[in-house]
Amino acid sequence: MIIIMEPGTSEDNIQRVVKTLEKHEFKVVLNRGEVMTVIAAIGDKRLFDPHSLGSLEGVREVKIIQEPYKLASREGQQEDTIITFDNGVKVGGLERPVIMAGPCSVEKDYQGLLDVAYAAKEMGCKFLRGGAFKPRTSPYDFQGLEEKALVFLARAREKTGLLVVTELMDSNDMPLFENYVDVIQIGARNMQNFALLKAVGKSTKPVLLKRGGAATIREFLLAAEYIMCNGNKNVILCERGIKSFDQSFTRNVLDISAIPVIKKLSHLPIIVDPSHATGRRYLIEPMSKAALISGAHGLIMEVHHDPDNASSDGAQSLSIPQFIEVAKRLNKLIGRIDYDNRMTKQELGIK
């Protein structure tokens, strides 16, 4: 941690900072410049909230050097986290990127859900997504079928073998989720719902954590840290677009560079949601390709048996025939990436 003092501040003010740091067991080095003094504090930030120094008189700025998350960081764990599911599916590292597909909301028409699930299975997907509890901006929009949707999803899993991914909004629903669900999704709006993060941190189910619409990468990884330091190390990160000043042609801006940035900072798998990121059906394919080629460990996308009559997000859902066309081209690209990864594994001597 670096503490920059105001130009011309008094020696007393400087010594007060030094004492505070020493009280918290930091090693302190003073750099007295011509214009201002800079104090370097060496030690473990995690025991101490550095912003508290900002209130001391004469302090201009406190700059943190070490990233504040630990379990989620590459410094804490060099090797990629690879999450292995009961049926052998693996997510992360150099494993073949996965596609998660399904409707935005699970609806009354169970057969429609099943049709999507079979199409997903046919195209090589291993995960079925579908909203049971829906976070809707307006209280007057469709809020989800709740437990009934979970039952439908579980039934579709039985038929197809696909793993079920769905969003948890209330920690009181955890028992239901432990029963029915394979991957617990935390939505973008709840990325800093710390009560919920702690709750899923105590679960044994893998968690799919979506990046908040205005969350920095640091905040995103700290949200993952909340889950991990409560005991659950199986976190899959998901970039789904960030808010920008231009919302005329896309809902959000998909931050593709977050993929290689996060892969450098963290060992956790990271996937991309091109449907929510763009809000436009025609952008799903190009953004999926961009995500895969820049290193994403997977995709999660919306597919609906009848998008024109979907209860939510029809405009960003692929129909089943559209999905099949897109999936074919994505599988071709994934095949090439998978081939490259296998070559890399061979070089690295990984089995």
Q: What is the DSSP string of 290-346?
A: HHHHTT-SEEEEEEES-GGG-SS-GGGPEEHHHHHHHHHHHHHHHHHHHHHHHHHHH
Beta bridge partners of 266: 73
The backbone region for 144, taken as left when phi is positive above 0, alpha when psi lies in -120 to 50, beta otherwise, is left
Q: Measured from the CB atom, is 161 or 231 closer to a copy of itself?
A: 231
Q: What single DSSP character describes residue 289?
A: H
Rounded Cα gap, residues 150 and 160, in angstroms: 15
CB of 189 or CB of 233, closer to a copy of itself: 189
* Shortest separation between residue 177's beta carbon and a copy of itself, angstroms: 13
Of 75, 329, 98, 78, give the one whose Cα is nearest residue 206.
Answer: 98
Beta carbon nearer to a copy of itself, 136 or 155? 136
For a copy of itself, give the closer residue by CB, 208 or 277: 277
Nearest approach in angstroms of CB 43 to a copy of itself is 8
φ, ψ of residue 278 to 5 degrees: the values are: -105, -35
CB of 101 to a copy of itself, least distance (A): 17
In whole angstroms, what is the distance from residue 311 CA to residue 97 CA?
A: 29
Q: In the bound complex, what is the minimum distance in angstroms from residue 157's beta carbon to a copy of itself?
A: 25
SS3 call for 19: helix
* CB-nearer residue toward a copy of itself: 10 or 216: 216
Q: How far is the CB of 159 from a copy of itself (least distance, A)?
A: 27
**Which residue number, 162 or 196, has a Cβ lying nearer to a copy of itself?**
196
Shortest distance, position 299 Cβ to a copy of itself, whole Å: 14
User: Which residue bears the tokens 């750099």?
Assistant: 31
Residue 349 CB burial class (10 angstroms; 0-12, 13-18, ≥19)? exposed
Which is closer to a copy of itself, CB of 98 or CB of 292?
Answer: 292
Minimum Å gap between C-beta 204 and a copy of itself is 19
Tokens 């379990």 found at: 71
Torsional sign, CA 161, 135, 234, 284: positive
